[in-house]
Amino acid sequence: MPEHVLGIDEGSTGVRAYVFDGQGVSVGTAYQEIARTHPRPGWCEHDPVAIVNATVKVARLATERAGLQPSDLCALGVATQRASCLVWERATGRPLYPAIGWQDLRTTQTCEELARKGVLINPMMSASKFKWVLDHTDCRRRAPGELCFGTLDSWIVWNLTGGAHVTDHSNASCTGLYDFFNNAWDTAMLEILGLSQDSLPTMAETSHVVAETKRSALGAPIPVGALAGDQQAAMFGQLCFNPGSIKASYGTSAMVDLNVGERFLLSPHGAYPLVLWKIAGQIAYCLEGTAITAGAALQWLRDNLGMVSDVAEIDRLAASVPDSAGVWCLPAFQGLGTPYLDPRARANIGGISLATTRAHIARAILESIALRCRQVVEALKADVTDAETAFLRVDGGAARSEVLMQLQADLLGIAVERPEILDAAALGAAYLAGLATGAWKSREELQGVWRRERLFEPKIGEAEREERYRRWLQNVQAWRPPAG
């Protein structure tokens, strides 16, 4: 029986594929960027066809680089950016509008109007985006059965399998259309928004074979053994199986997730309750806090300002100075997440003097990401007072930054554990798919395959840590305009 598993991670800026062997070792990988367009301020769109083409390309290339044939794969798992969504024709598979990215804020006013009526939907969830597509295309003139609404996992699997319209509970829970009490689509919310359940995908378990790929897609029929939201897949890839375990993923945004077990919890501190996964009939939940801008701030320095030629240069610059020399930053380029939940907030860099250099700005931005993540961790700890936060497992592209990881350990006062595989979402998708098809027999077996690359421990004392945090909060509060 083949033992190699393919893990696919379709993120906000690119899609990556890994082939893992039975020991959890990456034996082949490939990556391709995915273009984003911003037709108006606050809007974010993707080309749906380009996403599928990139997914097929990297899956085939990773398999080839592993020295394998597609038939050598026992399963594949798919993790995706979650609340990004699109609508397509069921008969032809033709998208009726570009994929709207989860960061897109075009429905902020709609969500505020609904909130005044007691209907709470975040503009970064799929629900209001689906309504927007209905209201701005000819979709309302079509019968619900003619349309497919889905997040990107549904779209990718539809194309890889030739028509399976399916999602899992972790992805569904991020749409704003999920009934957490019945673990099904929320019929009341669908009615409020004028959406039809007939257009939505079937919900499957997170680790479960939902279909096989068509031969023309990847070269052989391969069982699709897992669908998961990228952050939930990353939690599984970081082995955060137990209640109280916590991880942070430093991608376009920084997402911090806390496993709360089988209890569904609401947060008064700006965190989102989500399904972690449904496996063997059991549902686990998490609370998720978001620092909306993380890696995107580093890309801004490179792409918009031209301050560096590559993101790695930011780390080298930041390491060249002992501190930011009074420069501070609020990285709210796309609004503020936990605990503020303020989509209208914008970034600020302050404390600049004639002595300020590129290095000080680079360090201030890295420090601001670590400070925002501390805010998020504090919010989660306030929600779950018995959370075990003795260490933080990290992943994502920005976790490569030695400076950022050390700042995170210093400002949290706990150890930061970085794994060998930084794309924990792809690893988690592979783990989940491998469990569904027998490549790995149990979660206990996975404990022996996961590998740590480095441990960062705090190098400053509590007094200095708290003073730096206090000063930053003071700057943020002085700059932020009053709510409303």
Measured distance CA(250)–CA(294) in Å, rounded: 6
* 484 — pLDDT class (breaks 50, 70, 90): very low
Measured distance CA(272)–CA(458) in Å, rounded: 28
Q: What is the mean pLDDT of residues 276-304?
A: 94
pLDDT tens digit string along 408-448? 999 999 999 999 999 999 999 999 999 999 999 999 999 98
Model confidence at 482: pLDDT above 60: no
Model confidence at 179: pLDDT above 70: yes
**What's the pLDDT score for residue 267?**
93
Lowest mean per-residue pLDDT among 24-28, 90-94, 330-334: 330-334
Model confidence at 406: pLDDT above 80: yes
**What's the pLDDT score for residue 3?**
85
**What's the pLDDT score for residue 291?**
95
Measured distance CA(140)–CA(86) in Å, rounded: 15
Contacts of 261 (CB under 8 A, 6+ apart): 243, 284, 285
Measured distance CA(349)–CA(70) in Å, rounded: 49
Q: What is the mean pLDDT of residues 358-369?
A: 97
Q: 456 is written with which tokens?
A: 């960062």
Model confidence at 353: pLDDT above 70: yes
**What's the pLDDT score for residue 363?**
97
* 120 — pLDDT class (breaks 50, 70, 90): confident
**What's the pLDDT score for residue 112?**
92
CB atoms within 10 A of CB 92: 8
Model confidence at 238: pLDDT above 70: yes
Model confidence at 216: pLDDT above 70: yes
Alpha helices (H) along 137-214 = 152-161, 169-172, 187-193
* 390 — pLDDT class (breaks 50, 70, 90): confident
**What's the pLDDT score for residue 168?**
98
Q: Side by side, which strands form the sheet with 45-46?
A: 45-46, 99-100, 85-89, 147-151
High-pLDDT (> 90) share of the chain, % = 86
**What's the pLDDT score for residue 13?**
83
Q: What is the mean pLDDT of residues 305-333?
A: 94
Return the SS3 of 332: coil
Lowest mean per-residue pLDDT among 124-128, 212-216, 381-385: 381-385
* Nearest-10 crossing angle of helices 311-319, 402-412: 60
Q: What is the mean pLDDT of residues 24-40?
A: 94
Model confidence at 338: pLDDT above 90: yes
Q: 424 is written with which tokens?
A: 């924990």
Model confidence at 1: pLDDT above 60: no
Measured distance CA(302)–CA(314) in Å, rounded: 9
Mean pLDDT in the chain?
Answer: 94
Q: What is the mean pLDDT of residues 168-190?
A: 97
* 334 — pLDDT class (breaks 50, 70, 90): confident
* 176-180 own/partner pairs: CB under 8 Å, 24+ apart: 176/83, 176/121, 176/122, 176/125, 176/126, 176/127, 176/128, 177/126, 177/127, 177/130, 178/275, 180/264, 180/273, 180/275
**What's the pLDDT score for residue 386?**
73
**What's the pLDDT score for residue 483?**
52
Model confidence at 389: pLDDT above 80: no
